Structure 1
Amino acid sequence: MHQIETAIFGAALLGLLSIIATKVSGRLGIPGLLVFLAIGMLAGSEGLGGIDFDDPLAAQFLGILGLSFILFSGGLATQWRTVRPVLGPGLALATLGVAFTTLLVGLFATWLLGISLVEGLLLGAVVSSTDASAVFSVLRERALGLKGQVKPLLEFESGINDPMAVFLTIGLTELALHPEQSGWTIVPMFLRQMLLGGLLGLLLGRASVWLVNRLNLPFDGLYPVLTVMLVLLIYGLSAALGGSGFLAVYLAAVVMGNSEFIHKRSLTQFHEGITQLFEIGLFLALGLLVFPSQLLSVATAALLISLFLMFVARPISVYLSLLPWPMKKREKSMVAWVGLRGAVPIVLATFPLLERAPGANLIFNIAFFIVLTSVLLQGTTLPLVARLLRVSAPLPEKTPLFLEYTPTGAGRNDLVEVNVPHGSSVVGRRIVDLHFPKEALIVLIHRGGQFIIPRGATTLEGGDSLQILAHHDALREVRARVAERAALEVEESAGPG
């Protein structure tokens, strides 16, 4: 029992130190992910803590689990109206971009390290995808706003490009173990993973919304447990059937995030907390897993590969993938620079390590070094590069909601926030004249830092934030009315001539 108690104490202490360190790192402009890795390395077998953790299987399990919940939380926050304009570019970056990066880094690593082409491509695949946890975390931590479609494109790309990287890593690991096989043998696996993972994600997402709304659990505290089980079920079922579990989890979360279900606000906040927990735990575990002495032996080569990835492979991959779309050069350049690498490359590096593939140890250490340099260099310079490229923008003010509402599960009402855009057809009109559905009640208005109790004669203004208690069907109608542009009504009222 002494070992178990010591492990619990050690995990809690490292987690607490990581949380406290985020306050200091934020003021210094250092990404928190880098701090978590550093604490893990300092506590490891070659650091001050002397914790002996050499279990790639446990790290892989924790990584898969953590990434599933991180992707689920990101999917819940993904609004379809922001994704729709970047759907094509995002899919291109998540597939062609990952493939181009794998090829370019693989060829460079093969030439630089003198390893086989398959080993070089395997290294390229391991570090080919941007990391959702790193991107979401750094953007949130730096409170960074980006103009136009840059931010939704980055978040969408980082949420859906992991399946491609996983497929390439597993496929190239098989080719490294069985060099007599043809590379074309992995194509059917790719099609099966993408199609099956995508289909199951959409279907299970709809099924999850139906289940949450219909189950009517006796205790509110069971709803977070229910969603945790749904995440595990979606990933496990999709992966067991040969589909991409990561893609299924993300798409299911997007479906849920764009649907109405009870406890949506509290469940979204719960999964944001779970994401923070897994980010800390995942990066601490990966920091414990690495041996700093082995990093020193590959530092020069790893630094060259990392710089090649940042300044050559990623930009070329982005520009080639986005050729069909008329984006500005500075926006493409920003997308290229925010190609952060985080936990995903280190987790993927455990796959060839566990299979004892040729060059697996070298690949793992180089991947870890690339993550360190990516988070350190790219993560710390995001605000500066955004200003230089003129794509930075102030973050929209997040309205504090002082009214809380907890559905009982017996009905389909919820308390939500609806923002009134400037130019909306409801601007300048009294609430009584809008004829909103009777099942929708405006209970509070936030305007310019003040809270207003609404009355029928209250006139709405652009920028108002409305808290509305409504039935789900009525809420959809209200949102549609608020989203209408005033110009449309002017044209209709003017008539011909």
Structure 2
Amino acid sequence: MLDELYIIILVGTVLVLLAAFSSLLASRFGTPLLLLFLSVGLFAGTDGLGLEFNDAALAYFIGNLALAVILFDSGFQTPIATFRQAAGPAITLATVGVMGTSLLFGLFAEWLLGVGLLEGMLLGAIVGSTDAAAVFFLLKTSGIILRDRVKSLLEIESGTNDPMAIFLTIALVEAVRQGGGVETLGADVVLGFFEQMGLGLILGLAGGYGISFFIEKLSVDRGLLPILIIALAIALFALTGAIGGSGFLAVYVAGLYAGNRGLKRAATLKRFQDGMTWLAQIVMFLILGLLATPRDFDTILVPGILLALFLIFVARPIAVSLCLIPFGFRRRETVFVSWVGLRGAVSILLAILPILAGLQVSGQFFNIAFVIVLTSLLLQGWTLASVSRWLKLTVPKRIGPIEKYELELPGGAQHELLSYRVVEGSPVATGARVPRWARPSLVIRDGRSMRYQYAGRLQPGDYVFLFISPRFPPLLDRLFASPAPVAEDDEEFFGEFTINPASPAQSLAEAYGFQLPEEERDLKVSELIGKRLGGHPSYGDRTLVGTVEMIVRETNEEGEVTSAGLSLTPTPDTFLPFPVPKGPKDALDLLKKGARRILGKS
């Protein structure tokens, strides 16, 4: 018995190490990390090295714990400014978008697989949410810089749509198990949704407050504190679920609340949670890979790929287009958000629920969900960077590489101790002085420490320690960063001219021969840009005003435009080989035209 235990531990450790080392391949070749984790599990499973694992209940249990850890960290790492910037469209996508995607997918699955509409919608709910782990990693490692509004939308949507998909899946599993039809999804389901989400939100805020209070008021050993915080988050997840709420929403909201309180030990917590999140992802993906049996894929491979293509090219784009209409997103932004709808571990995890409920379609649905996830990662995950460039949604780098280390101090909510390594070609290496308000206190050069006042001109390789307010690190980053490489089209990105943001917008309209609406004629250029961009302008944002396009070059800490460019040749939005609906009526007309073409009618 002990020999078997050691072998299990050894095999499990080796699999975790293989998955961890596979991240090096992902960073180097742009491979979706989740795909590599799943591949390690498949390779080690029953059709690979022969490891037998068929405990669906254990896999679901482990997956839920791992997802709770991932969602808590996702909320903790999300700045509240990012959340405010994209909360409206993101939450709309996470709720209405998931429901719309599930319905459209269900109709197609009903026709393709010959199942009932309820079963088709169940499969749609299983694959209806985007995977937070896959989206976060790809956005971080793809080497592209997206406009803040689009990046924020993608991150918040992927972090908040799991509770909706989980609720729909559980409700539809129960409806199918009872043998009812679509008509059984009535008031009880609607009330259940508001109950789960309402309890999840309330308990999440209460839990976030409790966790923040615990960190600030109680004296706990630094090494023990992160473990206690994770334990409290999991306890909140379990308690919320036990009383009928959405535990996943609760841990995300708790993380969002606690992570934006400026806690004094936030740096330690973030480092620990980064490691825990990586471990949770690896364990969850490996378990799900081991649970799959690729030999059963042959009968559902073609239908699974067809369903994946319908999801990628039809269901999600329609749902996203309709959801984003009220928020003024441009066509290219809508198309990109549709494309970054990666399916991942959550879809496979939800596919276990029909197995646990003993549904007749459970085995078929699990295999189909697995094929859809693999297709999504291969097709969407590997093309993320190229699609973003094709749609011209990337922005030039503001600064080049930088080496910075955050050091924690007591009372760190009010001040920070940062250490910068001086890199070749940076402004400070070429003679720029560090501002006095940065309080530079120590320089380490060639292993010797000295006061900043006696160090003379900073040299590449020096380490500089500065004691500053949390407001100022972005300003210092520019001083210590190496020059950003300038691509051929970067200089053209911000337009042919620079315009004064404080000048009257009406003067611009008169100069270039277009009319402004009456309510915009008394605005400054900066105010007009902010109004057109929904009140949250950010670096690289563009807005079409009359016959010209205004581009945000710089913003201050209050989010006001301080520098803007002007392009006389606006970026065209008619680049797509297919039309994008501008509203519900337009979407319906496009569907009718497509159906006529398929049926061969004029």
TM score, norm. by length of structure 2: 0.70
Cα deviation, residue 412, structure 1: 6.6
Cα deviation, residue 453, structure 1: 6.4
Q: 1:442 touches 1:466 (CA, 8 Å); kept in 2?
A: no
Cα deviation, residue 352, structure 1: 1.2
1:219-245, Cα deviation, whole Å (9 max, x unpaired): 211111111111111101111111100
Q: How far apart, CA to CA, are the structure 2 residues paired with 1:485 and 1:197?
A: 31
What SS does the aligned partner of 1:225 have?
helix
Match of 1:201?
204
* Aligned counterpart in structure 1 of residue 315 of structure 2, from 313, 316, 323: 313
Match of 1:152?
152
1:384-422, Cα deviation, whole Å (9 max, x unpaired): 000000012356667533462354x8x976636699xxx
Q: How far apart, CA to CA, are the structure 1 residues paired with 2:249 and 2:561?
A: 40
Cα deviation, residue 336, structure 1: 0.4
Cα deviation, residue 70, structure 1: 0.9
Match of 1:16?
17
Say yes or no: does 1:464 pair with 2:466.
no
Q: How far apart, CA to CA, are the structure 1 residues paired with 2:296 and 2:370?
A: 11
| Bigger shift: residues 275-284 or 380-389 | 275-284
What SS does the aligned partner of 1:392 have?
coil
Percent identity, aligned pairs only, is: 41
- Matched to 2:217, the amino acid is R
Trace 1:108-119 onto structure 2 (pairs within 5 A): 108-119=108-119
- Matched to 2:61, the amino acid is F
Q: 1:454 to 1:351 in 2, by over 3 A?
A: closer
Q: How far apart, CA to CA, are the structure 2 residues paired with 1:86 and 1:8?
A: 44
Q: 1:431 touches 1:455 (CA, 8 Å); kept in 2?
A: no
* Number of aligned residues: 453
Match of 1:66?
66
Q: 2:268 touches 2:408 (CA, 8 Å); kept in 1?
A: no
Q: 2:405 touches 2:418 (CA, 8 Å); kept in 1?
A: no
Q: 1:418 touches 1:466 (CA, 8 Å); kept in 2?
A: no
Match of 2:189?
186
- Matched to 1:380, the amino acid is W
Match of 2:366?
364
Match of 1:495?
none
What SS does the aligned partner of 1:323 have?
helix
| Bigger shift: residues 338-347 or 274-283 | 274-283
Cα deviation, residue 375, structure 1: 0.9
Q: How far apart, CA to CA, are the structure 2 residues paired with 1:285 and 1:263?
A: 33
| Structure 2: runs of 5+ lacking an equivalent | 421-431, 444-451, 453-457, 480-555, 563-602
Trace 1:246-325 onto structure 2 (pairs within 5 A): 246-325=248-327
| Bigger shift: residues 353-362 or 119-128 | 353-362
Cα deviation, residue 196, structure 1: 0.6
Q: How far apart, CA to CA, are the structure 2 residues paired with 1:17 and 1:239?
A: 34
Q: How far apart, CA to CA, are the structure 1 residues paired with 2:193 and 2:283?
A: 30
Q: Which has the higher contact order (CA 8 A, sep 6+)?
A: 1
Cα deviation, residue 377, structure 1: 1.0
Q: How far apart, CA to CA, are the structure 2 residues paired with 1:32 and 1:57?
A: 25
Say yes or no: does 1:483 pair with 2:495.
no
Match of 2:79?
79
1:305-358, Cα deviation, whole Å (9 max, x unpaired): 000000001100100111111111111111000000010000011111100123
**Structure with greater proportional helix content:** 1
- Matched to 2:108, the amino acid is F
The structure whose Rg is larger is 2
Trace 1:121-270 onto structure 2 (pairs within 5 A): 121-180=121-180, 182-184=184-186, 185-217=188-220, 219-270=221-272
Q: 1:177 touches 1:357 (CA, 8 Å); kept in 2?
A: yes
| Structure 1: runs of 5+ lacking an equivalent | 420-427, 435-439, 468-481, 489-497
What SS does the aligned partner of 2:110 have?
helix
Q: 1:176 touches 1:358 (CA, 8 Å); kept in 2?
A: no
Q: 1:89 touches 1:322 (CA, 8 Å); kept in 2?
A: yes
Q: 1:402 to 1:147 in 2, by over 3 A?
A: closer
- Matched to 2:192, the amino acid is M
Match of 1:37?
38
Q: How far apart, CA to CA, are the structure 1 residues paired with 2:246 and 2:145?
A: 31
Cα deviation, residue 147, structure 1: 1.4
Match of 1:400?
403
Q: How far apart, CA to CA, are the structure 2 residues paired with 1:455 and 1:177?
A: 62
Match of 2:98?
98
Q: How far apart, CA to CA, are the structure 2 residues paired with 1:102 and 1:115?
A: 15
What SS does the aligned partner of 1:401 have?
strand
1:451-470, Cα deviation, whole Å (9 max, x unpaired): 666699xxx99832499xxx
Match of 1:107?
107
Q: 1:199 to 1:442 in 2, by over 3 A?
A: farther
What is the root-mean-square deviation in Å for CA atoms of aligned residues?
3.0
What SS does the aligned partner of 1:356 have?
coil
Cα deviation, residue 88, structure 1: 0.8
Q: How far apart, CA to CA, are the structure 2 residues paired with 1:389 and 1:167?
A: 34
- Matched to 2:39, the amino acid is A
Q: 1:102 touches 1:125 (CA, 8 Å); kept in 2?
A: yes
Q: 1:37 to 1:454 in 2, by over 3 A?
A: closer
What SS does the aligned partner of 2:194 have?
helix
Q: How far apart, CA to CA, are the structure 2 residues paired with 1:268 and 1:133?
A: 16
Cα deviation, residue 53, structure 1: 0.3
1:37-84, Cα deviation, whole Å (9 max, x unpaired): 11111110111x210000111111111111111111111110111111
Q: 1:455 to 1:192 in 2, by over 3 A?
A: closer
- Matched to 1:211, the amino acid is F
